[in-house]
Amino acid sequence: MKHWLIAGMTFTAIALWSTTMTASPADIWPSDGEEQRLWLRAQEEERVINESGLLYEDPQLEAYLNEVARKLQPPDVLRSVPIKILVLKDPHLNAFAFPNGVIYVHTGILARMENEAQLATLLGHEMTHCTHKHALKAFRKLKNLHPVSTFDACTQDTPGRSRDLVTLLGSTGALAAITGYTRELETEADQVGFQLVLRAGYDVKEGAKLFEHLKEEIEIYKIKEPFVFGTHPKLKKRIENCEHFLESCEGEKGSGIKNREVFLKKVHKVILENAHLDLKTGRFDMAQKGLERYLALEPQNARAYYLLGEVFRQQGDQERAKAFLGKAIAIDPAYPDPHKAIGLIYYKGGERGRARSYFETCLALSPNVPDRAYIEGYLAECKEE
Amino acid sequence: MIKKCSCVLLLLMTACAPWLPVGGPYESPSHRFSVVLPEKWMKLRAEDDLLLSKDGPFLQYILIQERRIEKPFAHTRKTLQRDMLAQEAAQVIVDEISSDRSVYDFQIIQNTPARINGHKGFQLVFTHKNRDGLVFKTRYCGILAGDWFYAIRYNAAQRYYFDKDIGAFESILSSFEVWEEKTG
For residue A140, the tally of other CB atoms under 10 A from its CB is 16
- Closest to A45 (Cα-Cα) out of A146, A122, A135: A135
Q: Does residue A261 sit in helix, strand or coil?
A: helix
Q: How many CB atoms lie within 10 A of CB B131?
A: 13
Provide the shortest C-alpha distance from residue B143 to chain A (in Å): 15
| Angstroms from A299 CA to nearest CA on chain B | 27
Residue B133 sits at the chain A interface (C-beta within 8 Å): yes
Between CA A255 and CA A259, with CA A258 as vertex, the angle to 5 degrees is 135
Q: Which residue of B has its CA nearest to A281?
A: B76
Cβ-defined contact of A374 to B87 (cutoff 8 Å): yes
For residue A281, list chain B residues with Cβ-Cβ distance below 8 A. Answer: 75-78, 95, 99
ipTM: 0.88
Name which of B71, B76, B109 to mutate to probe chain A: the one with the most chain A Cβ atoms within 10 A of its Cβ. Answer: B76
Contacts of A347 in chain B (CB under 8 A): 85
pLDDT in tens, chain B (184 residues): 555 555 555 555 544 567 889 999 999 888 899 999 999 999 986 666 899 999 888 899 999 999 999 999 999 999 999 999 999 999 999 999 999 988 999 999 999 999 998 899 999 999 999 888 899 999 999 999 999 999 999 999 999 999 999 999 999 999 999 986 544 4
- What is the rounded distance in angstroms from the CA atom of residue A84 to the CA atom of residue A101? 6
Greatest distance between any 2 Cα atoms in chain A = 81
With the C-alpha atoms ordered B11, B13, B16, B17, is the resulting torsion angle positive or negative?
positive
Say which of A53, A282, A377 has its CB closest to residue B105: A53
Residue B38 identity: P
CA gap A298, A286 in Å, rounded: 18
Return phi, psi of residue B57, to 5°.
-65, -15
Rounded CA-CA distance B121/B115 in Å is 6
Of A299, A296, A293, nearest to A275 (Cα)? A293
Per DSSP, helices labelled H in A51-146 are 59-72, 75-80, 107-112, 116-131, 134-145
For B81-101, the pLDDT digits (tens) are 999 999 999 999 999 999 998
CB contact under 8 A, A280 and B108: no
pLDDT at A254 (0 to 100):
53
A–B: how many Cβ contacts below 8 A?
52
Q: Quote the pLDDT of residue A314.
A: 97
- Chain A residues touching B83 at Cβ < 8 A: 348
Closest Cα in chain B, distance from residue A75 (Å): 35
How close B126 gets to chain A, by Cα (Å)?
A: 13
> Which segments within chain B are labelled E, that is strand?
20-27, 33-46, 49-53, 60-68, 104-116, 119-129, 135-145, 148-157, 177-178
State whether the Cα torsion A11-A59-A93-B4 is positive or negative: negative
Q: How far apart are CA A91 and CA B107, in angstroms?
A: 19
Mean pLDDT, 10 residues at a time, over chain A (385 residues)?
Answer: 45 39 56 85 89 94 97 90 94 90 94 95 94 86 64 36 38 54 84 92 87 76 52 64 78 75 96 98 96 97 98 98 98 98 97 97 96 97 84
Residues of chain A neighbouring B115 (CB-CB closer than 8 A): none
What does the alpha-carbon distance between residue A339 and residue A308 come to, in Å, rounded to a whole number?
A: 14
A280 to B111: CB separation less than 8 angstroms, yes or no: no
d(CA A147, CA A153): 10
Distances (CA, A) of A231 to A87, A94, A103, B55, B134: 21, 11, 18, 43, 34
Which residue in A116, A115, A130, A126 sits closest to A77, CA to CA? A130
Query: Are the beta carbons of A374 and B108 separated by less than 8 Å?
Result: no
Asked if A51 lies within 8 A of B105 by C-beta distance, the reply is yes
Nearest-angstrom CA–CA distance, A283 and A216: 14
- Report CA torsion sign: B23, B24, B30, B32: positive
Of B76, B83, B113, the CB nearest to A373: B113
Strand pairing category for A102-106 and A84-88: parallel
Backbone angles phi, psi at B120, to 5 degrees: -70, 135
* CA–CA dist B81, B79 (Å, integer): 6
For B184, nearest residue in chain A (alpha carbons): A381
Q: Are B112 and B142 in contact (CB under 8 A)?
A: no
Q: State how far the Cα of A233 lies from the Cα of B149, in Å rounded to an integer.
A: 42
